[in-house]
Structure 1
Amino acid sequence: MDRFLAISPKSQWWLFHTALALNVLGMLLTDMWLPMVVGAIVTTYLSVDSTVRIRYILPMKKSVQELERENASLRRRLNEIEQVSSY
């Protein structure tokens, strides 16, 4: 997931989808089928990967971080209650 840290996930999405469109256009306009098919397969994988990352993984990471923060605050409150009740 952390392969391309130089650009944002949304910029990666645009880059990979543009590359896929250019590959398909190159397949239509040239006779270089084998390199274009390989390029189209690679850019299709990258496009799908970036779409999954933007739509599912990044929101899931945010919700997991929120749950971890909530869990930590609840544990602190529980420890405070235990300390008060032990007196």
Structure 2
Amino acid sequence: MLTRYTGMTAESQSRLFTFGLVLTLLGMVLTDMWIPMVVGAIVMAGLAVESWIRVQHLIPMHNEIRSMQKQIKKLQSEIRTLEYDE
């Protein structure tokens, strides 16, 4: 959706966007400025959901892929040493 700000961790961004969404919804309840608040709530909901998905699924998947690539490289080097010994 949007490019992630790299100065913050994904977990911090997730907390920030969730807090912003809660504040926006609270502002919708307490004020009469519905139109700007609805637009803000839609934007904040999109950012919050994107950050939740990133924290819950994408970051663990990238870590798992990195560990699998390390295992593949290790196995390939073992195969090369076995082929060289023969």
Q: TM-score if structure 2 supplies the norm length?
A: 0.93
Q: Can you list the C-alpha shifts for 1:64-83, whole angstroms capped at 9, x where unaligned?
A: 00000000000001111111
Letter in 2 for 1:64: I
Higher relative contact order (CA 8 A, sep 6+): 2
2:15 aligned residue: 14
Determine if the alignment matches structure 1 residue 82 to structure 2 residue 53.
no
Q: What are the ranges of 5 or more consecutive residues in structure 1 without an aligned counterpart?
A: none
**1:2 Cα shift?**
5.5
- Identity across the alignment (%): 36
Q: TM-score if structure 1 supplies the norm length?
A: 0.92
Q: Can you list the C-alpha shifts for 1:6-46, whole angstroms capped at 9, x where unaligned?
A: 11111111100010011001111111111100100010011
Which protein is bigger by CA-based radius of gyration? Answer: 1
Runs of 4+ in 1 over 6 A off after TM superposition: none
Question: Given the superposition, is the C-alpha separation of residues 66 and 2 from structure 1 closer, same or farther in structure 2, using an over 3 Å criterion?
Answer: farther
